[in-house]
Chains A and B, each alone.
Chain A
Amino acid sequence: MSYKDKIKTDLFPTIWCPGCGIGLIMTQLAMVMDELGLDKSNTVMVTGIGCTGRMGAYMQFDSVYTLHGRTIPVAEAIATVRPELNVIVVSGDGDLTSIGGNHLLHAIRRNPRITVLCNNNEIYGLTGGQTGPTTPVGTKTVSSPAGSVYSPVNLQGLVNTNANAFYAKTTVYHQGQLRKAIKEAIEWPGFSFVDITSQCIENNGRRIGFPSANEMLNYFKKEYRQAPPGSTQLAYHQLGIVKGTPATAEPVPAGAGSGKGSGEA
């Protein structure tokens, strides 16, 4: 088997723009799936609305292409009904943290065994590059012509409100680290969130001064640093994995919902 067997290459070329970062995530995800033995009989993909949401259509799994913002309730229900499955959510930062923010907040609290891969390009790519809750302060977009005003959402802080949860920060430039983060996230016995900084050259990069996707990747290389081993909190532009205490894998009491444990350490 090869990781390429996880991808519907007959549907290529994809709808993604040349230089887009999403394909770099799909490749690493496919490699991890190959390594861990994930296949169409033990894994389901759930994707949201946005460019990233198309990934489910390109992979060799049953895939649910949800309404905008609703990946997490769908994924959690699937994991509840079929706890033996690997349920992998792949979506964008706008879908997961803005319109789907309330579901994210509560899934973190309930700690279902689902893996969330967030393609974080810091804007709404598919709709043309508007500002979003992950846009850095000062970034000029088509809906923040004077620069984005508000502080970005603190995803690490949100995820870590549950001491059992898993948070990883990586970028599409750091392919080895991205792969490690995806692998450990899928293996995590509870809620895991991989925050992947990625480039949208067409609807963001070019407008903020990057001539090409390559320059954006080089920017990630220059700007992001590995966090010291054992870090329990990642600083700005630090890469790493912050794991909580794995929730015990005891059977969930009947009627107790889908979660594996509370946030109390």
Chain B
Amino acid sequence: MAKRLLQGNEAVLLGAVKAGATYFAGYPISPSSEILMAASVYAASHPEFRFLQEEDEIASANAIIGASLAGAKSFTATSGPGFSLMQEAIGYAHKLRVPTVFVDVQRVGPATGMPTMPGQGDILQTRYGSSGDYTSIVFYPSSVAECYEYTIHAFNCAEESESPVILLSDAFLGHLNEVVDLDTIQVPVVPRTLEPLASGHTRLFSGVATYPDGEPATADGDEFIRQYEESKALRLQVAERYAFYEYGWNKDSDTLVIAFGITRRIAQPLAPYFALFRPIRIWPVLQDQLREIAARYKRLVVIEGSDGQYASVVERVLYRDVYRVPLLGGRMSLEAVREGLDRIGLLPRELAETAVS
């Protein structure tokens, strides 16, 4: 097929369809709504693909869990405030071990915030947003072609890890139009493994702690830990097969820039001056790769669209200080990157001169 101009949000829908998704439920919210609209248009000519515009994000998140249990690969798409409303259901999907995909096209929060401006402030919410302990798997592409590619990976990984996988995007990436040739992206699709409801079993899919026979296990710590460790081990093991990252730019520099999603694209002019580490699998943290690569560099700089959410994770993993360049208030631009580097005394002279001219 020929090259085409495609938007990041539309690429997510196409990736989902390619991965075998047959159910979408969602609620309109900027800047993710193109996914919902594209899903409704796709459903109109593909009866096997079911679409429901729900009354809210709570219904959407629970509906995709029900649809997945019924046998459909399912997904939803939202942004910060809606993603917050979905957190309880995400914990529920973790507890049930249901494969499904949540897409979060980030904007500037908290609360209603700046609905059309890009942000990256949901990094920790994707890991710790629901109550209790669970093991999240999260991917964050940085181009339209990658929106397509990693949506397929997200569905595959959800099937293998038996968990809700999160695909991060942002207002900038979701609305970015780029020329892509999707036929050059070949990702094998992992088929469904979970036996659908009404296959002749009497299973109990319970958010409450229960024994395998359905009896309440609400006061049995040993049973809780057994189930928790089993789920955690499966997710960590599967995540190893999805350890996507990019390491490049000027590897001989003494400074390593860490940036992901659209921020890595914005920071492209830094390529001659710094090395780059871009995690694509945001969670679980790529700690082995990060430790090995970071050890080669004198300085680490995390450039991100939040006030240090990922920087704090890097510091915790590496036990060393990092420089921070937070891009706040939707100011995700090269100018903001320059200002941030200048503030910490790391702006390359040539870039400063370009800025002046």
Shortest distance between the CB of A147 and any CB in chain B (Å): 32
Q: Would you call B213 an interface residue if the criterion is a C-beta within 8 Å of the partner chain's C-beta atoms?
A: yes
Q: Would you call B201 an interface residue if the criterion is a C-beta within 8 Å of the partner chain's C-beta atoms?
A: yes
Q: Would you call B69 an interface residue if the criterion is a C-beta within 8 Å of the partner chain's C-beta atoms?
A: yes
Shortest distance between the CB of A34 and any CB in chain B (Å): 16
Q: Would you call B51 an interface residue if the criterion is a C-beta within 8 Å of the partner chain's C-beta atoms?
A: yes
Q: Would you call B72 and A81 a contact (CB within 8 A)?
A: yes
Q: Would you call B45 an interface residue if the criterion is a C-beta within 8 Å of the partner chain's C-beta atoms?
A: yes
- Interface hits, A58-108 → B, CB 8 Å: 58-67, 70, 72-78, 80-82, 85, 102-103, 105-106
Q: Would you call A62 and B202 a contact (CB within 8 A)?
A: yes
Q: Most chain-A Cβ atoms within 10 A of its Cβ — which of B49, B53, B72?
A: B72
Q: Given known contacts A81-B72, A257-B52, is B66 in contact with A56 (CB within 8 Å)?
A: no
Q: Would you call B64 and A62 a contact (CB within 8 A)?
A: no
Q: Would you call B50 and A258 a contact (CB within 8 A)?
A: yes
Q: Would you call A11 and B214 a contact (CB within 8 A)?
A: yes
Q: Which residues of A contact B208 (CB under 8 A)?
A: 49, 65
The stretch of B167-175, B182-190, B192-200, B286-294 in contact with A is B192-200
Q: Would you call A80 and B50 a contact (CB within 8 A)?
A: yes
Considering the complex, give the chain A residue whose CB is closest to the CB of B95: A67
Q: Would you call B202 and A40 a contact (CB within 8 A)?
A: yes
Q: Would you call A1 an interface residue if the criterion is a C-beta within 8 Å of the partner chain's C-beta atoms?
A: no
The stretch of B55-63, B223-231, B346-354 in contact with A is B55-63
Shortest distance between the CB of B353 and any CB in chain A (Å): 55
Q: Would you call B204 and A44 a contact (CB within 8 A)?
A: no
Alpha-carbon distance between A56 and B203 when the two chains are bound, in angstroms: 9
- Residue of A63, A78, A106 near B55 (CB, 8 A) is A106
Q: Which residues of A contact B199 (CB under 8 A)?
A: 41, 62
Q: Would you call B176 an interface residue if the criterion is a C-beta within 8 Å of the partner chain's C-beta atoms?
A: no
Q: Would you call A209 an interface residue if the criterion is a C-beta within 8 Å of the partner chain's C-beta atoms?
A: no
Q: Which residues of A contact B88 (CB under 8 A)?
A: 67
- Residue of A42, A65, A82 near B207 (CB, 8 A) is A65
Q: Most chain-A Cβ atoms within 10 A of its Cβ — which of B59, B66, B74, B202?
A: B66
- Residue of B22, B50, B56, B196 near A102 (CB, 8 A) is B56
Q: Would you call A144 an interface residue if the criterion is a C-beta within 8 Å of the partner chain's C-beta atoms?
A: no
Cβ proximity bits A6-37 to B, threshold 8 Å, 1 near / 0 not: 00100100010000000000000000000000
Q: Given known contacts A11-B213, A80-B67, is B47 in contact with A40 (CB within 8 Å)?
A: no
Alpha-carbon distance between A61 and B92 when the two chains are bound, in angstroms: 20
Shortest distance between the CB of B182 and any CB in chain A (Å): 23
Alpha-carbon distance between A58 and B55 when the two chains are bound, in angstroms: 31
Alpha-carbon distance between A63 and B69 when the two chains are bound, in angstroms: 10
Q: Given known contacts A82-B71, A255-B44, is B64 in contact with A63 (CB within 8 Å)?
A: no
Cβ proximity bits B1-34 to A, threshold 8 Å, 1 near / 0 not: 0000000000000000000001101000000000
Q: Which residues of A contact B71 (CB under 8 A)?
A: 81-82
Number of interface residues of B (CB under 8 A): 53
Q: Would you call A254 an interface residue if the criterion is a C-beta within 8 Å of the partner chain's C-beta atoms?
A: yes
Q: Would you call B206 an interface residue if the criterion is a C-beta within 8 Å of the partner chain's C-beta atoms?
A: yes
Q: Which residues of B contact A106 (CB under 8 A)?
A: 54-55, 59
Q: Would you call A257 and B202 a contact (CB within 8 A)?
A: no
Q: Would you call A105 and B207 a contact (CB within 8 A)?
A: no
Shortest distance between the CB of A76 and any CB in chain B (Å): 7
Q: Which residues of A contact B222 (CB under 8 A)?
A: none
Secondary structure type dominating chain A contacts: mixed
Alpha-carbon distance between A216 and B221 when the two chains are bound, in angstroms: 39
Q: Would you call B67 and A77 a contact (CB within 8 A)?
A: yes
Alpha-carbon distance between A57 and B212 when the two chains are bound, in angstroms: 11
Q: Would you call A8 and B23 a contact (CB within 8 A)?
A: no
Q: Would you call A82 and B70 a contact (CB within 8 A)?
A: yes
Alpha-carbon distance between A173 and B22 when the two chains are bound, in angstroms: 44
Alpha-carbon distance between A106 and B74 when the two chains are bound, in angstroms: 21
Alpha-carbon distance between A255 and B45 when the two chains are bound, in angstroms: 8
Q: Would you call B70 and A78 a contact (CB within 8 A)?
A: yes
Residues of B within 8 A of A (CB): 22-23, 25, 40-41, 43-47, 49-56, 58-60, 62-67, 69-72, 74, 88-89, 92, 196-208, 210, 213-216
Q: Given known contacts A73-B59, A77-B25, A102-B59, what 15 new A-B pairs fall within 8 Å (CB)?
A: A11-B213, A11-B214, A40-B200, A41-B199, A49-B208, A62-B197, A64-B197, A65-B208, A74-B62, A74-B69, A81-B71, A105-B55, A254-B47, A255-B40, A257-B51
Residues of A within 8 A of B (CB): 8, 11, 15, 40-44, 46, 49, 56-67, 70, 72-78, 80-82, 85, 102-103, 105-106, 254-255, 257-258
Q: List 28 A-B contacts (CB under 8 A).
A: A11-B215, A40-B200, A40-B202, A41-B198, A57-B214, A62-B199, A62-B201, A62-B202, A63-B203, A64-B197, A65-B204, A67-B62, A67-B89, A70-B58, A70-B59, A73-B58, A77-B62, A77-B70, A78-B70, A81-B70, A81-B71, A81-B72, A82-B70, A82-B71, A102-B55, A102-B58, A102-B59, A257-B51
The 5 lowest CB-CB distance pairs between A and B, nearest first, are A74-B66, A77-B66, A255-B44, A255-B43, A81-B70
